[in-house]
Amino acid sequence: MIGVRSVEKRLEREDVKEKNAGAAAFLDLDGTLMCLPSLEKRFFSMLRYRKLIGVRNYVLWIAEAVRLAPRGASQVMYANKLYLRGVPRDQTDSSRVPPFYPEAIERVVWHAERGHLIVIVSGTLEQLAYGSARVLEAELRARGLASAIRVCATRLGEKSDRWTGRIVGEAMFGEAKARAIRRIAAAEDLDLGRCFAYGDSASDRSMLEAVGKPAAVNPSNDLARIAERKDWAVLWWGKERTFRRRAQGTDGSDDEFEVPRAKAGFRA
């Protein structure tokens, strides 16, 4: 009898996956899946401790920051990686990935159970994002789910197994995230109206607007105002004072989102 129930449960899961084909979850990393400071800031601190960033790297970074300044602070923050010039690429280590929010893991599990494509879309370095994806995949395997997690992140050029400090393609922030999502949707035949996205800052706005089911996670003040205006779901992960709102899942069933207790101007 236990065997029959096990088979029935597996068939039910496969049926849910069939119904949810064409849906995906796009997740920001820093501040969304895990707490701040960002992975890259943590990585920088580690490299500085190991004395792998020389004085010349700082000079190169400052010169590039001056060049990019007219394009805005976001370009300086996300598109300037010259401090990494000459740093060996093997310094990244998935064992150093900070813990994910428990609620973030459960949300990823929820998507994996429904057969959704899961994609990390992050402005962090590609190698750091891949390390995080592997840790998340291990969390899924521990729950009996064999789901591969894709990555769209900022890629650096390499020469002789060292980073050049120059970005290949475009830095993954702002509109670049939305463009990446649309490319994946076209390649995988996704229905963006049925897809989910999760972000924590106003720079994630384009990514959230690209899908039909956006959610602001631990939002900054700017993103909280945008979420309120657009009536997006708001989730507080890693926070104590939360309650739940019902929202419809892609399989037609009710899904539970964590939202903040009502504050001035916010709908619960």
> Please, what are the averages of pLDDT over each run of 10 residues along the chain (268 residues)?
44 48 93 92 91 92 91 85 91 78 96 96 94 95 93 95 93 95 96 97 96 97 96 88 40 42 29
CA distance 211 to 193: 6
CA distance 18 to 55: 55
Phi and psi at residue 259, in whole multiples of 5°? -135, 160
Confirm whether 210 is domain-assigned.
yes
Domain that includes residue 173, residue range:
18-35+99-158+169-260
Confirm whether 184 is domain-assigned.
yes
pLDDT at 242: 41
Q: What is the CATH number of the domain that holds 112?
A: 3.40.50.1000
Taken as a whole, the chain contains a residue count of 268
The terminus-to-terminus CA distance of the chain in angstroms comes to: 44
Confirm whether 135 is domain-assigned.
yes
Confirm whether 253 is domain-assigned.
yes
Global pTM reads 0.81
CA distance 216 to 225: 10
Confirm whether 265 is domain-assigned.
no
- Residue ranges with strand state E in 2-89: 24-27
For residues 224 and 187, the answer to whether their CB atoms sit within 8 Å is no
Confirm whether 111 is domain-assigned.
yes
**Domains of the chain: total:** 1
pLDDT at 95: 60
